[in-house]
């Protein structure tokens, strides 16, 4: 599995492409479709899906255009499904001053769901706390972590649906995972999971 981090735009939110063979999945479309298309062309890959690690405005700035342009389904955790169309839960209005309701996802995910990409698989790990339906995506040594855990911190829990106690429980669960996994967070640089946990005083 190959992961590409696309040039940051908007609210410094990371957008990634997961690529296996000739297929790609777009994760958290926050950059222009032109940038996404350019990278897909360079990799000779076609998008087969869009995944949201969570349904916050800054991680789906170009979601509508991407869905129309590439014609591929949107995947989101079932606990996050309503937030896609709810300007309060997706904080588009309260935090960013641009109330917006996106169309519902075509595919709902659960903890342990497996998505096939090319000849490889992506495992869905439910990691609530920042939002009820936050997920991480594990493929080999790659762990796309959204706003659950960063290289030197974690996502805020004071927004609608956030829960400090649940997030703490989620973060401590990472201590049981392979510490050599490389996290690719929703904001900031990639880092080994073990180092990120050490920075948080966990493990």
Q: Among all chains, which residue has been given the structure tokens 């880092």?
A: 191
Whether 95 shows a pLDDT value over 90: the answer reads: no
Query: In whole angstroms, what is the distance from residue 106 CA to residue 154 CA?
Result: 29
**How much is the average pLDDT of 139-158?**
97
Cβ atoms within 10 A of the Cβ of 108, count?
16
Q: Which residue has the tokens 């360079």?
A: 42
Q: How sure is the predictor about 85, in pLDDT bands with cuts at 50, 70 and 90?
A: very high
Query: Among residues 105, 15, 21, 12, which one has the least CA distance to residue 67?
Result: 105
Token duo for residue 84: 């896609």
Distances (CA, A) of 27 to 3, 38, 94, 185: 10, 16, 24, 11
Distance CA 47, CA 127 (A): 25
Tens of pLDDT, residues 35-62: 999 999 999 999 999 999 999 999 999 9
Mean pLDDT, all residues of the chain: 96
Tokens for 129?
């706390």
The CA distance from 117 to 19, in Å, is 7
| CB of 80 closer than 8 Å to CB of 132 | yes
Other C-beta atoms closer than 10 Å to the C-beta of 20 total 19
* Mean of pLDDT values over 78-98: 92
Strand, coil or helix: 191: strand
**Confidence check: pLDDT of 94 > 90:** no
**Token pair of 77 as six digits:** 């955790």
Q: Among residues of the chain, what percentage have pLDDT more than 90?
A: 94
Q: How does residue 145 score in pLDDT terms, banded at 50, 70 and 90?
A: very high
Helix or strand holding residue 55 (H, E) = none
Model confidence at 138: pLDDT above 80: yes
Query: What value does the mean pLDDT take over residues 159-174?
Result: 97
DSSP 3-state of 15: coil
Phi–psi pair at 53, nearest 5 degrees: -70, -25
pLDDT on residue 9: 66
Averaged pLDDT for residues 123-127: 98
According to the model, what pLDDT value does residue 98 have?
A: 86
The tokens for 17 are: 């492409």
Per-residue confidence (pLDDT) for residue 10, from 0 to 100: 63
75 sits in which H/E element: strand 74-77
Residue 61: the pLDDT is 93
Q: Give the pLDDT of residue 8.
A: 76
């Amino acid at each position: 599995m190959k992961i590409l981090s696309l040039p940051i735009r908007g609210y410094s939110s990371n957008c990634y492409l997961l690529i296996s063979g000739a297929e790609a999945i777009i994760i958290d479309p926050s950059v222009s479709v032109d940038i996404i298309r350019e990278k897909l062309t360079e990799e000779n890959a076609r998008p087969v899906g869009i995944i949201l690690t969570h349904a916050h405005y800054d991680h789906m700035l170009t979601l509508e255009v991407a869905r129309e342009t590439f014609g591929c389904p949107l995947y989101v955790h079932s606990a996050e499904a309503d937030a896609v169309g709810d300007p309060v839960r997706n904080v588009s209005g309260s935090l960013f001053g641009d109330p917006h309701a996106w169309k519902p996802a075509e595919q709902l995910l659960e903890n342990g769901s497996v998505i096939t990409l090319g000849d490889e698989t992506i495992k869905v790990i439910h990691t609530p706390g920042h939002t009820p339906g936050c997920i991480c995506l594990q493929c080999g040594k790659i762990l796309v972590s959204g706003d659950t855990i960063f290289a030197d911190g974690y996502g805020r829990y004071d927004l609608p649906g956030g829960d400090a106690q649940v997030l703490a429980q989620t973060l401590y669960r990472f201590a049981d995972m392979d510490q050599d996994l490389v996290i690719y967070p929703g904001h900031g640089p990639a880092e080994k999971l073990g180092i990120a946990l050490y920075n948080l005083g966990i493990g």
